[in-house]
Structure 1
Amino acid sequence: MTTTGLDRWLEQNHAELTAIRQDIHAHPELGLEEHRTAALVAAKLREWGVEVTEGVGGTGVVGVVRGRRPGQGAIGLRADMDALALNEETGLPYASQNPGRMHACGHDGHTTMLLGAAKYLAANPDFAGSVVLIFQPAEEGRGGAVAMLQDKLFERFPCDAIYGLHNSPGMAASSFGTCNGPMLAAADSWQVIFRGVGGHGGSQPHLSTDITYAQAHFVLGLQGIVGRNVAPLDTCVISVGYVHAGSQEASNVVPSELVIGGTARTYSSEVRELVERRIAELARATAQAWGCSAEPSYRRGPSALLNRPEQVSVGIAAATASVGAAQVNGAIRPGTGGEDFAEMMQIKPGAFMRIGNGVEADGSFKGLHTPLFNFNDAIIPDGVRYWVNVVNEELGADLRAVAA
């Protein structure tokens, strides 16, 4: 590929961006607690001449870069900032300095790539319209997208379309992948509290109403929802994540209360509603069958992430311009992971893209949400390149004129 001004700019700025990424990595913060990270992001944006608004949705930061050419279009580029509640085991010189906190999902890299794009675009605003840089808190289950929306994100910072980017271990470094339609699932959680009459499990089990029987039949029945209530071509996952009852110190006691819970993953709103209803019906029916009671609850998490064809086309074109068509897959297999960028995409049309984090020579890799994961700093330039090319595709940026 022909070397461009952007390529030269990335060569000059890669070391600085790597240092920023590793600094964020060393100081991880949980969702809605990203005070240091948000302050760093805001300071860098201001240093580079970007309009900055802090405190959006709690600890969110929004920057706006306005093009020098006339135009009313506006697009949003989003990165997440929060870390996970894990103890890091990488042994890296820039490993987490905050015990029990770790950037095990690469949000440090996502933030850095968008910061790089912000610096470049602020110095080279040769496009028509506005770029809204959304640095989101609390992607990992603490509702950061919803918090920003409740703080009137898109009323305050209008966007015609929005784009997200996430690293993927196991994909070749700097390769890209996306797809039309459902890409990630709605990520919900459910819980059932079974209550009955406890008793002596050795001498008088017949006097108890054994909630463990109800729980056992309930667990078996859960997969019947998937197999017999959900249409064969629809996606649905129901898993048990925990079961709590009784005590190891009293193994001869039939417990009077049992708590069981897990996750449910779906693509369509119809299947989501069916699963919520059937889990409750199944819990109550199995409890009644064994003389017990059941208290089911269902908590909806992020919605299914649904990519729009128009924005997917933009993303594919931007990725192709960044790394070449051979490194871009526009029809990757959807997954049942969750991503709360989906909540923003319920409001605005958008596309979510994956960038490969790399694979070792033996084919191994360290997965997301594990104590050994580390974001690959070598892919930072292609992440920045992708963001800049999204702006080029949407707002007509001219990559030939590049400021130093």
Structure 2
Amino acid sequence: MQLVDLERIREADALLAEVARRTPMEHSRVLGEQTGGEVHLKCENLQRTGSFKLRGAYVRLIGLDAERRAAGVVAASAGNHAQGVALAAQLLGIPATVFMPERVPLPKLAATKAYGAEVKLRGAVLAETLAAAREHAERTGAEFIHPFDHPDIVAGQGTVGLEILEQLPEVRTILVPTGGGGLVAGVAAAVKAVRPEVRVLAVQAEQAAAWPGSLAAGKPVPVTDTQTMADGIAVGEPGAVPFAHVAELADGVLTVSEESLSRALLLCLERAKLVVEPAGVAAVAALLEHPEQVVSPTAAVLSGGNIDPLLLLQLIQHGMTSAGRYLSLRVRLPDRPGSLAALLGKLGEINANVIDIEHSRISGALALGEVDVEVSLETRGLEHREYVVTQLEAAGYTILARR
């Protein structure tokens, strides 16, 4: 397979000049301190539609001839690709139909409709949605726009790599969130053509990691279980076009845990003041989990920022727990006046902030005159979290469970 070359990516860059934003590259002091190097964040979460997907979608659609444009385009996506295709089609005056899963978050559904696409909800999982979109394409003659498996998509996404080289000429490592592989393929194609010594590393959620096994096998190999909070990169099988690029050009794949993803999301929100979705923070998670794998200066691509506010609330709590700043305890107390006040007093002494508290007197494990108290606390970090537990135990409290 012929790889996308630098000339094609530069042509894509020219096509996108008045369409896509040249997203900022932000220096991150806190990540530099935590990893012992110089770290910069490529903020594709600030791109139009909230992710890098507009780049590839626009390049793919502008390449269609008049006859295919008149027939319209169709796509399947749970969010970012849907919005990229919808906006690109609107800008080019092409009718667009987007199939989305039946339980797609409402903000993503609303945004896709706002860009002018006709949205059809089909399927409980994305594979079913994809099948419905392909059937629609065959029945109507509309052009199916794959989210990553096409040279035009790779070329469009490769413009991210060109911008990184322009904004951070001294870069030595680039970390790229990776699902189907269109973004990392494009970045690797652009970067290796100009600076072959720069390391380009793909980053996957370890619970949805199809790339390590595929690269080991020498061909795309599907995985069936992709249960991760990073739904934007939960792709069961790499695309053939991206695979050819990554196999030849990229320098490896890193996988990250769910805990690292949630910690990275919280760090971006608190310290960088950037709202990033779980898939979008995979590169930051890799820095936190595998700092030894990168050579500084490092550019971490924040690939998207489209996150359901309800999910964001859950992930903030998950991230606080992973960072040791949230602690939930079940404590057994004597059921008499003053017991709860004494516990709260002790928590105040050791600077644990009470978020929520709940009594239970109906457990079968309770003896007469006992009560279980579930208390949720905000702590100052992992050391303070352990200090809270040891101080309570030293004061004679029985801790039945902690998380």
Q: Which has the higher contact order (CA 8 A, sep 6+)?
A: 1
TM norm structure 1: 0.32
Please state which structure has a larger fraction of its residues in helix.
2
TM-score by length of 2: 0.33
Q: Where is the strand percentage greater, Structure 1 or Structure 2?
A: 1
